[in-house]
A and B are shown apart, each in its own frame.
Chain A
Amino acid sequence: DAKTTQPNSMESNEEEPVHLPCNHSTISGTDYIHWYRQLPSQGPEYVIHGLTSNVNNRMASLAIAEDRKSSTLILHRATLRDAAVYYCILRDPSGNTPLVFGKGTRLSVIA
């Protein structure tokens, strides 16, 4: 799996939007971009994934650069419950491979 680079930590005020960046300059043409997050004392949970087009779901939005070398996870209104480590992961289209986690970005949300 290609490597991803994320900032170690970010901070946000409650109820403000958060943009979590991820660089993946060596992404292959068929790799999907997945985001997982890990709340304190829990296992990771799936957030969102995409290939080329921007994606929205009830948890977040995923904005993918036109050249696909970077992406941004957008939380539209951060809450205290969004404080977690966010992982950006590339996966081949079969989805058969295990997840390869980096260190992720630790998001702190300030009330």
Chain B
Amino acid sequence: DTGVSQDPRHKITKRGQNVTFRCDPISEHNRLYWYRQTLGQGPEFLTYFQNEAQLEKSRLLSDRFSAERPKGSFSTLEIQRTEQGDSAMYLCASSFRAFYNEQFFGPGTRLTVL
């Protein structure tokens, strides 16, 4: 399967712990996006990379959140000192630069903070 993959699919952690998620985009895609989705809501944009450059960050991305895409391939999203309000589905999407820029989403990582 050559779609977007995310790891882990589920993560349960205690409040105050750090967690890291990984996203592997479709190989030829140079753009990578992170979104967060809470129950009953549509996904909300967090941050976006073009190759290894982080081009945009949402106000939702507090100082406890950091994302990297070191070689323009896979990306990691780290949350430090997790809070119960961080519990959500974290979605990754990738796209190839094209005029309509369709985004392909991974299955998401569901985070539960106890």
Q: Determine if B42 and A87 form an interchain contact, defined as CB atoms under 8 angstroms apart.
A: yes
Whether A95 contacts B101 in the complex (CB less than 8 A), given A43-B91, A43-B93, comes out as yes
Contact with B along A80-102 (1 / 0, CB 8 A): 00000101000101111011111
Contact between chains at B45 and A98 (CB < 8 Å):
yes
Tell me whether B108 is interfacial, beta carbon within 8 Å: yes
Whether A43 contacts B107 by the Cβ 8 Å rule is: yes
Asked if A101 contacts B101 (CB within 8 A), the reply is no
- Nearest residue, chain B, Cβ from A50: B100
The interface on chain B, measured as residues whose beta carbon lies within 8 A of the other chain's beta carbons, has a size of 24
B46 to chain A, nearest CB (A): 9
Within 8 A of A (CB), among B21-36: 33, 35
Indicate whether A11 reaches chain B with its CB closer than 8 angstroms: no
Interface of A toward B, CB cutoff 8 Å: 32, 34, 41-46, 49, 85, 87, 91, 93-96, 98-104
Q: List 26 A-B contacts (CB under 8 A).
A: A32-B100, A42-B107, A42-B108, A43-B4, A44-B43, A45-B104, A46-B104, A49-B100, A91-B101, A94-B99, A94-B101, A95-B98, A95-B99, A95-B100, A98-B33, A98-B56, A99-B33, A99-B43, A99-B45, A101-B35, A101-B42, A101-B43, A102-B42, A103-B40, A103-B42, A104-B42
